[in-house]
Amino acid sequence: MTDAMRFETAAIHVGQEPDASTGAAVVPIYQTSTYVQQAVAKHKGFEYSRTDNPTRRALETCLAALEGTEHAVAFGSGMAAIATLAMTLNSGQTVLLPDDVYGGTYRLFAKVMGDLGIGFTTVDMTNLDAVRAAVTDELALVLAETPTNPLLKVLDLSALAEIAHGAGALLAVDNTFATPYLQRPLGHGADVSIYSATKYLGGHSDLVMGSLATGDAQLAKRLKFLQNSVGAIPGPFDSWLLLRGLKTLAIRMQAHSAGAARVAEWLAAHPVVTKVYYPGLSDAQGHEVATRQMAASGAALYGGMVSFELESEEATLAACERTKLFFLGESLGGVESLIEHPARMTHASLAGSGMEVPDTLIRLSVGIEHPDDLIADLGHALS
Ligand SMILES: *Cc1c(COP(=O)(O)O)cnc(C)c1O
């Protein structure tokens, strides 16, 4: 993003000039696999759509601008993005993960990358001494996530960058929950930002995509090479849908954050709620770090995810089944509110791993409905 063009403007204009051949105001869906060449190996910059596609290129240009950097690479899912990033590592190297990392990321390293010779360790990344103690000569990548899922723990990215770089490793940050509107990891020393674009970037629960952004030209070149070599690309239609979602990312994140703050405060005052997890609450773990780190929009905003606990698992399950506006379902980041029980749903695969979440925990993805209606819905479910 140039100094002259702010986030909201870049989301609508960067990479999205009117179509050169027709003047179409919206980037067309170039639903084509191949491109006619003028002569042998003489073409207009596109040869084959795995390698490059005009709709995807527009999206990648815009994603890089929103991150305030040069390079973004799009993938068919968040996991495809993380797997492709992992392929930049060599057998014998290791990765450091948070002890409450996204379950799919844990599974990728535990059950797939391990067989390819890439090891991993998990550590509580809120404890910087523990992170320092976990550094080894083989460490090549620290993969952080903040705020974390589902306990909304906040990690200090500048401190983690210092430790990673001191060990000769890169820092990658899964920024899915915060989005670049609230938090830009590269500005805090990270080397790569990771997204499941399925969530807030798309924002309408109608696509599955991922992306990586970096200012490191060498790494970007390798990632582009792997994007083409491995082939986990998004199609032109999904790229177009994501471009459309990005145009409203700023106003959606403002609404998600305002609604979630109202819901978190209301929950904190509710007699049957035993604990609330939201980085915007003044007594939350990491509140000060979040206030500094999640201020990319100009003022601290803490995002749309809220978790809370009730007295018993029975009460928790009952509450999940009694909301009407909050749909019971996995995923997050859409305009519609969702409620779920992590221990039995999104985080069920952690059973027996020692990384289980409390069975009295409920996770909310607060949508952009009117907060008063959402609070009334929760009030009914908890009564
Ligand atoms: C959903 C999610 C992913 C995985 O993304 P997909 O698009 O589902 O492949 C990775 N990290 C976080 C934090 C997520 O929420």
Distances (CA, A) of 48 to 20, 34, 43, 227, 232: 20, 5, 11, 13, 14
Q: Which residue has the tokens 């991150």?
A: 67
251-382: which CATH topology? Answer: Aspartate Aminotransferase, domain 1 (3.90.1150)
Positions annotated as catalytic residues are: 50, 102, 174, 199
Alpha-carbon distance 24 to 358, whole Å?
Answer: 51
Name the pTM for this structure: 0.96
Query: What was the pLDDT predicted at 3?
Result: 55
Query: What was the pLDDT predicted at 268?
Result: 98
Is 199 near ligand 1, meaning CB less than 6 Å away? yes
Is 211 near ligand 1, meaning CB less than 6 Å away? no
Could you list the beta-strand ranges (E) of 93-190.
94-98, 119-123, 139-145, 170-174
Q: Which helix (H) or strand (E) holds 225?
A: helix 217-230
Ligand 1, residue 198: give the atom nearest the CA: 7
7-247: which CATH topology? Answer: Aspartate Aminotransferase; domain 2 (3.40.640)
Helices and strands of the chain, counted as H and E runs: 13, 12
- Mutation probe of ligand 1 site: the residue of 75, 79, 206, 332 with most atoms within 8 A of C-beta: 79
- Mutation probe of ligand 1 site: the residue of 85, 194, 199 with most atoms within 8 A of C-beta: 199
Is 346 near ligand 1, meaning CB less than 6 Å away? no
Opening angle at CA 275, ends 274 and 281, nearest 5: 140
Per-residue confidence in pLDDT tens, the chain, 383 aa: 545 699 999 999 999 999 999 999 999 999 999 999 999 999 999 999 999 999 999 999 999 999 999 999 999 999 999 999 999 999 999 999 999 899 899 999 999 999 999 999 999 999 999 999 999 999 999 999 999 999 999 999 999 999 999 999 999 999 999 999 999 999 999 999 999 999 999 999 999 999 999 999 999 999 999 999 999 999 999 999 999 999 999 999 999 999 999 999 999 999 999 999 999 999 999 999 999 999 999 999 999 999 999 999 999 999 999 999 999 999 999 999 999 999 999 888 777 777 788 999 999 999 999 999 999 999 999 99
Domain spans of the chain, in order of start: 7-247, 251-382
Is 297 near ligand 1, meaning CB less than 6 Å away? no
Walk across the sheet containing 119-123 and list its strands: 71-75, 210-214, 192-196, 170-174, 139-145, 94-98, 119-123
Alpha-carbon distance 339 to 307, whole Å?
Answer: 9
